[in-house]
């Protein structure tokens, strides 16, 4: 049987056979020439065929059927380098070799089985470039997905609440002629128990907005309780419970904005995600325009989340308040280029930023520590 005519249209026969490459592949499959050692980071076939080159070369050889090609791949040779075949993109293939080498199995099914991986797993099935296990997060992805969706929904509802409140206050301001102080009094009287001459008129004007806001607020409070329950199932639950000044909702917010913390290679990448990185030019990560915006990747909403968390532990106290105090003492002792001390607000913001980064680093460490 000519395997070339039997292979389904796809990636194996997507590369047009070249006479010279075919001859070389045939000799390589027959063992006449040893596999060429590739330099690190560069495939020995020059990138012409990719990691499935040997399977392609054996398959397009008229005298070789597909199970033989699979058997050749199972011997552990690869044109990518002298690595075992499971070190490349076909890392999940060994678990399908039994089905692929079954002589009663259809060639098309064997081909599909070889280049199919289990749903939900990476193609390498947890193997690195040399077939060594890599550190991957073991947290159930459905849990992090549920936290992220619940957090984003909570944020959307919270923004709707604020928008409705501002609209109601704008109506009150219009009724009193634009004075903000009088408008605030009218709004409090309308939504509270105090009296005001325009309370009845303002109530009729803002009642639909207040009713909609109250309904959204009730839903938001309910989903916040749900988020706290989800956060208690994460690897950081015990750490957060034992840390004064940091709440479960804050933890859920970090996961909601950053995702699975175990997927970040180091704390600096998490800092970059949350808007706390230091750029190569020494400047802080911030909102900029032009082509630099792509490099900064700054998100004000993510930065504001960490900012709020920092405010909480600075006011509430706890271990990160101690980190803040120690860093602030260091910043106060410093001087600028002119020998003048920095302003108190500058020392405060620098110390607060330092403590926020320390918290993110500790969250990242505990997340990975609990999953190793």
Beta-ladder partners of 78: 81
Which is more confidently placed, 11 or 231? Answer: 231
- Three-state DSSP state, 314: helix
Residue-wise pLDDT tens digits, 81-120? 333 333 333 333 333 333 333 434 444 443 343 334 434 4
What is the per-residue pLDDT for 24?
A: 67
What is the per-residue pLDDT for 25?
A: 64
Which of these ranges, 47-61, 147-161, 202-216, 343-357, has the smallest mean pLDDT?
47-61
Residue in the block written with tokens 């040779």: 77
Asked whether residue 47 carries a pLDDT value surpassing 70, the answer given is no
What is the per-residue pLDDT for 307?
A: 94
User: In whole angstroms, how far apart are CA 276 and each of 41, 142, 243, 254?
Assistant: 32, 28, 22, 13
How many residues are there in the chain? 372
Please, are residues 157 and 220 in contact by the beta-carbon 8 Å criterion?
yes
Instruction: Read off the pTM.
Output: 0.60
What is the per-residue pLDDT for 212?
A: 96
What is the per-residue pLDDT for 131?
A: 38
pLDDT mean over 285-305: 89
What is the per-residue pLDDT for 294?
A: 86
Long-range contacts formed by 28-32: CB under 8 A, 24+ apart:
28/54, 28/57, 28/77, 28/79, 29/54, 29/57, 29/58, 29/61, 29/64, 29/72
Asked whether residue 80 carries a pLDDT value surpassing 80, the answer given is no
Listed in sequence order, the DSSP H helices in 97-198 are 97-100, 107-114, 141-175, 180-191
CA atoms within 13 A on the CB side of 256: 26
User: In whole angstroms, how far apart are CA 231 and each of 44, 146, 295, 372?
Assistant: 48, 10, 31, 19
Between CA 19 and CA 54 the distance in angstroms is 15
């Amino acid at each position: 049987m000519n395997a070339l005519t039997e292979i389904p249209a796809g990636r194996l026969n997507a590369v047009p056979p070249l006479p010279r490459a075919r001859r070389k592949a045939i000799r390589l499959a027959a063992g006449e020439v040893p596999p060429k050692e590739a330099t690190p980071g560069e495939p020995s076939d020059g990138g012409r065929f990719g990691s499935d080159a040997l399977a392609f070369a054996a398959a397009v050889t008229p005298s070789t059927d597909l199970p033989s090609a699979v058997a050749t791949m199972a011997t552990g040779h690869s044109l990518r380098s002298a690595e075992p075949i499971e070190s490349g993109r076909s890392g999940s293939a060994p678990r399908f070799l039994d089905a692929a080498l079954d002589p009663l199995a259809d060639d098309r099914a064997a081909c599909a089985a070889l280049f199919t991986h289990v749903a939900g797993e990476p193609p390498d099935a947890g193997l690195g470039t040399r077939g060594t296990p890599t550190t991957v997060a073991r947290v159930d992805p459905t849990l992090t997905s549920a936290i992220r969706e619940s957090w984003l929904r909570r944020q959307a509802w919270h923004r709707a609440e604020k928008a409705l409140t501002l609209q109601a206050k704008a109506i009150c301001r219009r009724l009193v002629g634009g004075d903000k102080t009088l408008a605030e009094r009218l709004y409090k009287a309308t939504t509270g128990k105090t009296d005001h001459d325009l309370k009845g008129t303002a109530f009729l004007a803002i009642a639909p907005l207040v009713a909609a806001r109250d309904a959204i607020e009730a839903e938001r409070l309910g989903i916040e309780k749900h988020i706290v329950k989800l956060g208690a199932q994460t690897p950081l639950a015990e750490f957060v419970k034992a840390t004064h000044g940091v709440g479960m909702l804050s933890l859920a917010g970090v996961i909601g904005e950053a995702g699975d913390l175990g997927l970040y290679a180091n704390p600096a990448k998490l800092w970059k995600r949350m808007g706390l990185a230091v750029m190569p030019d020494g400047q802080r990560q911030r909102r900029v325009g032009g082509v630099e915006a792509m490099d900064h990747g700054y998100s004000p909403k993510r930065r504001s989340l960490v900012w709020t968390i920092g405010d909480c532990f600075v006011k509430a106290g706890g271990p990160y308040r101690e980190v803040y105090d120690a860093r602030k003492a260091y910043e106060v002792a410093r001087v600028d280029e002119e020998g003048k001390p920095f302003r108190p607000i500058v020392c405060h913001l620098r110390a607060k930023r330092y403590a926020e980064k320390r918290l993110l680093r500790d969250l990242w460490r505990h997340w990975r520590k609990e999953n190793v």
